[in-house]
């Protein structure tokens, strides 16, 4: 009987320690983002129903709104992150990405075709006018995204829109990568 109580007590202590470490890891990510130049653009969220954590930076609004994120199972990263998600948002008077949702990038003169993005869109009413809201999502290999952050020049062509990343974007993307635990 005494041994049974002792086993239960040990199990409770171990579970509480694991929970404590997990919550500390999640909180540590949030705490790190407070030191970033673009700290207000960072979000760390945990979904306890899906047991999944998302780390996001953005949106940065220019000709096209852009965000970047990564996700992992649990509250603390226990496996390598293999990709970073790039998300482009558009609000316009017409469908920009209906027939053209490819992403091309030039990183310090090196051309890359990152393929076709997953698209969603809808007609919306906004500010007393009707427009089109679209989202394009791309899974970018970690090593390719890392090239973006180390580059002097990054140009995008997503659908019909061409734009360049500014220093603000590159700094934020470097900060995002600093949150990824290296294995």
What domains are there in the chain, each with its CATH number?
A: 2-178 (2.60.40)
Model pTM? 0.79
DSSP-derived 3-state class of residue 62:
coil
Q: What are phi and psi of 72, to 5 degrees?
A: -150, 160
- Nearest CA to 144 out of 182, 100, 108, 181 is that of 108
**Which residues lie closer than 8 Å to 1 by C-beta, 6 or more apart?**
none
User: Rounded to whole angstroms, how far apart are CA atoms 169 and 109?
Assistant: 18
Residue pair 70/140 in contact (Cβ under 8 Å)? The answer is no
Taking only the tens of pLDDT, the chain with its 183 residues reads 444 444 444 444 334 433 433 344 557 888 888 888 888 999 999 999 999 999 999 998 877 899 999 999 998 888 989 999 999 998 888 888 888 999 999 999 999 999 999 998 888 776 777 888 899 999 999 999 999 999 999 999 999 999 999 999 999 999 999 999 876
């Amino acid at each position: 009987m005494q041994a049974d109580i002792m086993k239960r007590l040990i199990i409770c202590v171990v579970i509480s320690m694991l929970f404590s470490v997990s919550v500390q890891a999640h909180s540590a990510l949030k705490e790190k983002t407070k030191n970033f130049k673009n700290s207000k653009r960072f979000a760390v969220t945990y979904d306890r129903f899906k047991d999944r954590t998302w780390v996001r930076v953005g949106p940065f609004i220019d000709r096209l709104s852009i965000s970047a994120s990564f996700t992992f199972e649990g509250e603390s990263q226990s496996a390598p992150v293999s990709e970073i998600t790039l998300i482009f948002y558009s609000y316009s008077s017409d469908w920009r990405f209906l027939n053209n949702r490819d992403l091309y990038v030039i990183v310090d003169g090196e051309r890359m075709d990152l393929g076709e993005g997953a698209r969603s869109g809808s007609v919306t009413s906004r500010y007393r006018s009707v427009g089109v809201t679209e989202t394009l999502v791309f899974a970018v290999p970690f090593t390719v995204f890392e090239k973006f952050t180390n580059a002097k020049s990054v140009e995008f062509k997503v659908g019909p829109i061409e734009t360049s990343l500014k220093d603000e974007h590159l700094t934020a993307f470097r900060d995002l990568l600093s949150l990824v635990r290296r294995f």
